[in-house]
Amino acid sequence: MECAHLSDAELLRLVRGGGEPSAAALRELERRHFQAVRVYASSCANTSSAADALAGQAWKLALRPQDGGASGAVRPRALSVVLRTAAAWSRTDRREALAPELITWIGTHVPAPPGLTAGADGTYGDGTYGGGTYGTAGADAANAHVAEPEFLPLSVAGRTFEGVADHSQTVLWHQAVEHDEPERIEDLLGPDAEAIPLLARRARSELYNIYVQLHQAGLADECRPFHRMVLAYAEESAIDMAADLAPHLEGCAACTRAVADLGRMRVDLGAFLAEAVLPWGGVEYAALRAEEDAPVGSALELLPAGAHLARAPGRVRRRLFGRWGAGVRPGAGRPAGRGLRANRLVQSLVLIGLASLAVAFAVSGNLRNGAPQSDDSKPSESAQPAPPQKQPGPSGPTATETATSTVTASPGSKPPGTGKKPPPASKPPVDGAILEWLFGGARAGVVADTSKHGRSGTLRGSPPATVSGGAVDLDGGQAVVSDGPVIDTESSFSVSARVRLDDTEDDQAVVTQDADESSGFLLQYDADEDRWEMRIPFEDEEDAEDADADEAAADFGPEEGEWTQLTGVYDDPDDEIRLYVDGRLQDTTEHADDFAAEGVFAVGRGLSFGEGFRGVEGTVDDVRVFAKPLTTSQAAALAR
């Protein structure tokens, strides 16, 4: 029987139904998931043979029918059963086959089930296994009567994930933890599944809502007046309430945990889910499944000395550094450890007091090196770029643009002739930018490129755009343009910017690059749909309004006068467009038709019929360009 086209749910039904089709269905499930189960089991066991036995036994248990018919997604369920089976082994003579760190963790966190006695094979109840391995797991074995260890305590995060629908669990886990491509996730869900980006958005919303419900249901009476404040603070939509909330959080572990959990859910969903399902070794498992170039740095690195957690070993430590809940700092001199736990994070935050927590969140949003500054704040000296090198004169104006030679003074800049060297540039949140306009100031109508690639920007318009407060102000007929092309639109690239729109009645193009007649891409606001978009047309058509294009779009648009961080990605090898808003992936869409747009790079307007259109009415800051597709974690780092 051919099973490759069947969903995981259909394969499970066949396996549990027994008979001839079950063998083929079991082989397909094993092909899809068993290797990951074996990988996690190897971190729990001391030897390869013990890992095989642990993985094989857990795999059989994971395929058993569950009470009520619900079973969850195959991969995370099977992985969680590995940990539960290991906990059962720790009560028997098989404990010697387990990693010592795991035995210690089980002894601290997992109480023995009352009234049950562990058998010699490491299971509880009236069913036994002889420690069979993957190669001996027959289809009928999945239906054998085996008492699975059910005593592993679940955190609020763990109960939240269990409450999410099976298909939502599959999308969340395989997208955020396993980093599988949409096509791979579609195979697991079956041919009738809806588009993965749509399912992912719904699943994230479902996860968030269930967490909030569980947290609210467990609140003590004294916590209820602070419930909405906790949610707003965790979303960083109300940082200014930190002083009001800190006294309550200082004495409330439940609300402190909610702030940390909801923050991780937003910034690093993969680590949040992995630790929810696998409270021992979950973060390490997620790191091993993640990309190699995950950026470092997070709010937690700003906590006072002593508030960090123990380091993870080797390359796992490097990949975990800066993730929510890991908080690892290099050179801290703490002993290495394999288990980085969310409850240890909560304990650390409570011990240092919520003043530190408030500082960590507030600083991560406003005061980190390289972080965006608010419109009305003066840029610090460390944010000021070195004086730009002498640039060629600006190119001639288009039909709607007028070159300027007006000098706009940099706020807080030092007068010439002081003899002091400029301060060193701060480390960017993501390395490798080929253009970086931070708008620390302008000289002779030119904005410096602090990426050191010499791609300065000229202030255009009549009157020309102005730079103030560390950002460029635009009135709809102004822009900042380069002297030539910056992006190879036939290859992978990423663009990011912070924008604050003063009006949302009209379409507005934040970042673009010109072709001959129209824009080669547009990171923009669509007023008709009231949403942010990363739009790439199929070809250079005269009328950009009617051009056929692919677009990754958010479900929402901006509030007037509020800052939004946008990152648009074109991944050429994967033929994919991605849009991130405030560091969170909003949509992914296919795009396979490239064309060369070799005109100027522009901030604040698009191009149609060879003239500027869709001008920005508002303020733009922190414009960066990369000649590569940024990852989800890198987009989150830019937003921080």
The length of the chain in residues reads 640
Least confident range from 73-77, 265-269, 363-367, 501-505: namely: 363-367
* Residues contacting 486, CB < 8 A, separation 6+: 434, 435, 455, 513, 601, 625
Torsion on CA atoms 9, 11, 16, 22, rounded to nearest 10? 170
Say what the pLDDT of residue 510 is. Answer: 97
Confidence of residue 109 (pLDDT cuts 50, 70, 90): confident
Q: Residue 546 phi/psi, 5° resolution? A: -100, 5
Angle between helices 354-366 and 253-267 (to 10 degrees): 20
5 token code pair: 């086209």
> Cα separations (Å) of 169 from 32, 58, 79, 188, 431?
16, 19, 13, 11, 33
Lowest mean pLDDT, pick from 107-121, 159-173, 176-190, 389-403: 389-403
- Provide the pLDDT confidence category of residue 239 given band limits of 50, 70 and 90: low
CA distances from 160 to 110, 156, 171, 205, 215 (A): 19, 6, 15, 12, 10
Element housing 445 (H / E): none
What span, in angstroms and rounded, lies between the C-alpha atoms of 604 and 607? 11
State residue 369's pLDDT score. Answer: 33
Interval 403-426 mean pLDDT: 39
Provide, rounded to the nearest whole percent, the portion of the chain with pLDDT above 70. Answer: 70
Q: CA–CA separation, 434 vs 140, rounded Å?
A: 58
Amino acid, single-letter form, for residue 609: F
Asked if residue 359 lies in contact with residue 245, where contact means CB atoms within 8 angstroms, the answer is no
The contacts of residue 636 (CB under 8 Å, 6+ apart) are 267, 268, 580, 583, 584
Residues 6+ apart with CB under 8 A from 103: 90, 95
Over residues 16-68, the pLDDT tens digits come to 888 888 889 999 999 999 999 999 999 999 988 899 999 999 999 988 876 44
* Residue 568, pLDDT above cutoff 80: yes
Measured between its terminal Cα atoms, the distance across the chain in Å is 50
Copy the structure tokens of residue 495: 């663009």
- Across the range 575-587, mean pLDDT stands at 93
The better pLDDT of the pair 211, 230 is held by 211
315: helix, strand or coil: helix
Tell me, what's the pLDDT at 481?
A: 96
Residue 255 has pLDDT above 80, yes or no: yes
Give the whole-angstrom CA distance, residue 640 versus residue 633: 11
- Work out the pLDDT band at 407, boundaries 50, 70, 90: very low
Q: Which residue has the tokens 């958010």?
A: 554
Q: Give residues with Cβ within 8 angstroms of 157, minimum separation 6.
A: 211, 261, 272, 275, 276, 342
Task: Measure the CA–CA gap between 161 and 80, rounded to whole angstroms.
Answer: 12
For residue 414, pLDDT beyond 80: no
Q: How many CA atoms lie within 13 A of 600 on its CB side?
A: 26
Token duo for residue 383: 């944010």
Over residues 418-446, the mean pLDDT reads 75
Closest alpha carbon to 604 in 472, 408, 487, 496: 472
- Contact between residue 476 and residue 400 where contact means Cβ atoms under 8 Å apart: no
Phi, psi of 537 (to 5 degrees): -75, 165
Q: Any idea what DSSP says for residue 585? A: E
Residues 119-133: pLDDT tens digits?
444 444 433 322 333
Cα–Cα dist 607/9, whole Å: 49
pLDDT confidence tier of residue 237, bands split at 50, 70 and 90: low
Cα 46 to chain center, whole Å? Answer: 33
User: Would the pLDDT of 323 be above 60?
Assistant: no
Place of tokens 């609210």: 216
CA proximity to 615, closest of 598, 597, 624, 602? 602
pLDDT reported for residue 71: 64
pLDDT at res. 242: 61
CA atoms of 262 and 240, how far apart (whole Å): 18
Whether the predicted pLDDT of 152 surpasses 80:
no
Place of tokens 């460390």: 382
**Is residue 469 a contact partner of residue 375, using CB atoms and an 8 Å limit?**
yes
Strands (E), 34-140: none
**Residue 340 structure tokens:** 């980085």
Position 408 pLDDT exceeds 60: no
For the chain, give the longest Cα–Cα distance: 88
For residue 596, how far is the Cα from the chain centroid?
30
Using 50, 70 and 90 to split pLDDT, how confident is the model at 456? Answer: very high
pLDDT exceeds cutoff 80 at 557: yes
Neighbours of 93 (CB within 10 A): 10
Question: What is the residue-averaged pLDDT of the chain?
Answer: 75
